Amino acid sequence: MSITELRGKALRVLLLLLALPLASVAAAEDRLDTIRERGELSVAVYRDFAPYSYADADGHYVGIDVDLAKALAQALAVKLDLRPVIAGEDSDDDLRVNIWRGPLINGSPSDLMLHIGLDPEYIKRTDKAELFGAYQRETVSVIYRKQQIGTLDTPLKLAGQKVGVEVDSISDYYMSGAFNGRLRTSAVRLLSVDEAVARYLKGELDAVMAPRGQLEGALFRAHADAAAVTIGDFVGLFRTQWDVGMAIKAGNPELKAALQAALSQLRESGRLREIYASHGVTLQDPLLRP
Amino acid sequence: MMSRTFKQGHWRGTAMATFMLASCLPAFAGVTDQMISNDAASTDDVVTVGMSQGGQRYSPLNKINTSTVADLVPVWTFSFGDEKQRGQETQPLIYNGKVFVTGSYSRIWALDAKTGERLWAYQHRLPDGIMPCCDVVNRGAALYDNLVIFSTLDAHLVALNQDTGKVVWNETLGDYKAGYSNTAAPLIVDGKVITGVSGGEFGIVGRVDARDARTGKLVWTRPTVEGHMGYLNGQENGITGKLNASWPGDMWKFGGAATWLGCTYGADVRLIYCGTGNPAPWNSHLRPGDNLYSSSTLAITPDTGKIAWSYQTTPHDGWDFDGVNEFIPFDMKKDGKTVKAGAKADRNGFFYVLDRGNGKFISASPFVTRQTWTKGVDAKTGRPIEADTRPGDPAQAERGKQVFSAPSFLGGKNWMPMAYNQNTGLFYVPANEWGMDIWNEPIAYKKGAAYLGAGFTIHPLYDDYIGALRAMDPATGKIVWEYKNPAPLWGGVMTTAGDLVFTGTPEGYFKAFDAKTGKELWKFQTGSGVVGQPVTWEQDGEQYVAVASGWGGAVPLWGGEVAKKVKDISQGGMLWVFKLHRAAAP
């Protein structure tokens, strides 16, 4: 930190109050007007984040969130300006960089960002971005070799196995911290869920722990069956399920209403479920209202 | 004049060129290793960030002194221009009639040292989507031969021709998409350019690289986390430390320990000293063990890139203290003997003195008023005695137990370098008095998934000041004097044989203090916060002083009560150059 730069680095910090000048209060014009004027909706999605948003073999961005972004732009009758972005250390960073302040280097804030984790408390805490439009529920899951591990009725059965996790994810946290660290040395930390699933399919790992959508998507793309999947309440994990939704800059009620209407239509028409199915992922309905 | 001749192409033939080179510009031979070794003593140039390889930031010049400093006036200024007015943490370099100065957003300029006129500008083309953790700063360049070398926010190391600003070589230090960046000034040792890396919290492993300064070709690389392989001339050169000695499982693979503040050099013992950052992940309960070599000073041999010794200031760091601070070699007079020592004022609040040859612990003295995390350092083992205040216990995750900890994660001292005065024998440490509330934050998300983060609020410890410039006697560990500043200090310090100490304040003042007493003798309002590193040199028989002004760095990013103290500071981006006023001829 450089952090301090903290380099680099620094801990994840709640930016409770930024010293940067906030946009003027008198936001007379709703962002929806400028989107319509421009004829374009800019949507930030995470880079390298299969099956939601990732580059295919030809370098084109594809995935569930990409399809959803296209459908939302279509519903607003504008073109899509898709912006794959590098994930920050947590979604507070992502909202600052992509929604309400903009990047420090080049570029401008996007109209919309997809795949933001939601719960009532987080929505309340986040005041510079409006979080809404829950479209999916996500659950921490494990794929594993049943013949080797047996039925995974307790996570302690993972002790002594090679369990792939994405480094610095909730699964990594669980393997490192639960049961006073008894699973700590069973974790094989990798840069992505995709890498973990690929190594699992090659027989190098005994299990992979990750959000279910990512596991299902990775297996689908590899044309592989799930062996055994368990979804679950992992003892000692502070949260195993959460909703996923979207974010826009606070203070744009018309844009919010238009996106909510578009999302409802996509859900009711079955289009949303089709999108998920086309990427091999079961759509689990969110608990929060859109 | 030379450059104009080149441009117009008026000469004919080698003989003419040789004649001109020999007669007009003897310095054209370029910056040599000897000039770099001798930077502290040679007063007509500043060819190294730190004003010497050891980084003492001490000048033997004394025309500007306690009696004359009141006459210090601006000579010229240079605006870094455009809208990119962020933190200016740079140190100018002065050589061959030119001033080389870097700025925010990976920019660098060459200026005429007499007039401040811009000779050339280079703006590194930064890709979209870089996420620098703290600010878009740069901390200065290195000179070698006819090159000026600096690192960029997208983790490149770029060498430019000193006369033209044209790129001679451009090497990648890391993948910016994976979170690598670099802002520190490179160090030149024996024709090699030494760099660290900076980057985000995860996925990064700290490293020290040595490249051929003329070509950029990698000579050796030394990872800073145990278990990782080092390389010399493309061949394996032994792993760092011992696998799994101080890290559980495979956590060493992503162990952090970024070398984001670069290195210093002890020429007499031929060791490069590099500080390392905190280990990852932030929650120390997940990674039992010392987590070597995070939060440490490493002494590395310049020829082979092997670790000669290490000293860990915060074993099993759970407070994000880092150990990146500069280790400055100096000769300590104690009990009638001279000790070959080195000193480091750590983020964790201790001022350490070690034997610079073997890393042996000599002393650790607090340079801040409060350290909740420790009861002191065990003189026998050199290890801190931990107080029972370690934050982040996962068992407390849902309950959100809050721990107050001082210093805060921004440190008793952050990046800003201290200075050592060979006359007074004192170190001048830019310190800050603040603590933090820290708690597990279960309501956090990362890439759309639930995540256990950390919540922080920084609190000043005192109502009337945060910053404190402190004169430390390294032999006794006593604070000899202090200057208190309302806002946190974030700029470098310089000291001179004129018994002066220079530093800047976020309030915009560039100040000079009496090195013996701490009395403030001079100040100048630069128009924006000063977080740069001052230098001094002699030109045409007069002593000059320069510092960059431009508020930024990490402080404005954090909220709470600290933000209130700095919220009204104007942005800027300016180099200020001063000398003593001279009355017009009668």
Annotation: binding site of B for Ca(2+): 201, 278, 320
Annotation: binding site of B for pyrroloquinoline quinone: 89, 139, 183, 414-415
pLDDT tens digit sequence for B488-512: 999 999 999 999 999 999 999 999 9
pLDDT score, position A233: 58
pLDDT score, position B18: 44
Reported as a pLDDT band with limits 50, 70 and 90, residue B29 is confident
What ranges do the domains of chain A cover?
A: 31-137+242-278, 139-231
For residue A121, the chain B residue with the least C-alpha distance is B443
Across the interface, whether the CB atoms of A89 and B202 are under 8 A apart is answered yes
pTM, entire model: 0.91
pLDDT tens digit sequence for A228-256: 666 655 666 668 899 999 999 999 999 99
Average pLDDT over residues B21-45: 80
pLDDT tens digit sequence for A58-113: 999 999 999 999 999 999 999 999 999 999 889 999 999 999 999 888 889 999 99
pLDDT tens digit sequence for B541-564: 999 999 999 999 888 777 678 888
In a domain, B11, yes or no: yes
Residue type at position B494? M
In a domain, B23, yes or no: yes
Reported as a pLDDT band with limits 50, 70 and 90, residue B7 is very low
Main-chain dihedrals φ then ψ at residue B303, nearest 5 degrees: -80, -35
Instruction: Give the structural domain span for B16.
Output: 1-30
B416 touches chain A (CB under 8 A): no
Question: How large is the angle between the packed helices A64-75 and A253-268, nearest 10 degrees?
Answer: 110
CATH level 2 (architecture), domain A139-231: 3-Layer(aba) Sandwich (3.40)
Task: Say whether pLDDT at B528 is over 90.
Answer: yes
B455 touches chain A (CB under 8 A): yes
Across the interface, whether the CB atoms of A19 and B452 are under 8 A apart is answered no
pLDDT tens digit sequence for B284-311: 999 999 999 999 999 999 999 999 999 9
Specify the long-range contacts of residues A225-228, CB closer than 8 Å, at least 24 apart.
A226/A143, A227/A143, A227/A144, A227/A145, A227/A146, A228/A143, A228/A144, A228/A145, A228/A146, A228/A151, A228/A152
For residue B247, the chain A residue with the least C-alpha distance is A185
Across the interface, whether the CB atoms of A105 and B128 are under 8 A apart is answered yes
For residue B254, the chain A residue with the least C-alpha distance is A167
Strand locations in B71-165 (E): 72-79, 93-95, 98-103, 107-112, 118-123, 142-144, 147-151, 156-161
pLDDT tens digit sequence for B380-406: 999 999 998 888 887 776 656 788 999
Task: Say whether pLDDT at A122 is over 90.
Answer: yes
Task: Give Cα B507 distance to the centre of its chain.
Answer: 21
B192-195 and A129-144 beta bridge pairing:
unpaired
Element spanning A265, H or E? helix A253-268
Main-chain dihedrals φ then ψ at residue B394, nearest 5 degrees: -60, -25
Q: Which residues of B are less than 8 Å from A239 in CB distance?
A: 442, 450
Task: Say whether pLDDT at B423 is over 50.
Answer: yes
Class of domain A31-137+242-278: alpha beta
Across the interface, whether the CB atoms of B198 and A177 are under 8 A apart is answered no
Examine domains A31-137+242-278 and A139-231 and report if their fold is the same: yes
Q: In this complex, which of B203, B287, B554 lies closest to A4 when CB atoms are compared?
A: B554
Percent of chain B with pLDDT over 90: 81
Across the interface, whether the CB atoms of A12 and B201 are under 8 A apart is answered yes
Q: Which residues of A are less than 8 Å from B322 in CB distance?
A: 1, 3-4, 6-7
Measured between alpha carbons, how far is B566 from B507 in angstroms, rounded to an integer?
Answer: 8
In a domain, B572, yes or no: no
Q: In this complex, which of B129, B449, B453 lies closest to A138 when CB atoms are compared?
A: B449
Across the interface, whether the CB atoms of B200 and A189 are under 8 A apart is answered no
Q: Does residue A271 or residue B1 have the better pLDDT?
A: A271
pLDDT score, position A89: 86
pLDDT tens digit sequence for A177-196: 888 899 999 999 999 999 99
Q: In this complex, which of B260, B398, B441 lies closest to A2 when CB atoms are compared?
A: B260
Task: Give Cα B316 distance to the centre of its chain.
Answer: 23
Reported as a pLDDT band with limits 50, 70 and 90, residue B11 is very low
Q: Which residues neighbour A152 within 8 Å (Cβ) at sequence distance 6 or greater?
A: A142, A144, A146, A158, A228, A230
pLDDT score, position B45: 97
pLDDT tens digit sequence for A138-178: 999 999 988 888 888 888 999 999 999 999 999 999 999 88
Mean pLDDT (chain A, rounded): 87
Main-chain dihedrals φ then ψ at residue B49, nearest 5 degrees: -70, 130
B288 touches chain A (CB under 8 A): yes
Across the interface, whether the CB atoms of A15 and B559 are under 8 A apart is answered yes
Measured between alpha carbons, how far is B198 from B261 in angstroms, rounded to an integer?
Answer: 8
Q: How far is B26 from chain A (nearest CA, A)?
A: 40
Total domains in the fold of chain B: 1
pLDDT score, position B455: 85
pLDDT tens digit sequence for B113-146: 999 999 999 999 999 878 777 789 999 999 999 9
Query: Which residue is it, tokens 């003897």?
Result: B26
In a domain, B21, yes or no: yes
In a domain, B109, yes or no: no
Active-site residues of B, by number, are 320
pLDDT score, position B559: 66
In a domain, B434, yes or no: no
Q: How far is A165 from chain B (nearest CA, A)?
A: 11
Mean pLDDT (chain B, rounded): 92
Task: Say whether pLDDT at B529 is over 90.
Answer: yes
Q: Which of A222-231, B173-182, B560-569 has the lowest mean pLDDT?
A: A222-231
Q: How far is A62 from chain B (nearest CA, A)?
A: 17
CB A110 within 8 A of CB A44: yes
Q: How far is B68 from chain A (nearest CA, A)?
A: 36
pLDDT tens digit sequence for B182-237: 999 999 999 999 999 998 656 789 999 999 999 999 999 999 999 999 999 999 99
CB B573 within 8 A of CB B88: yes
Across the interface, whether the CB atoms of A176 and B558 are under 8 A apart is answered no
B449 touches chain A (CB under 8 A): yes
Query: Which residue is it, tokens 């929505």?
Result: A123
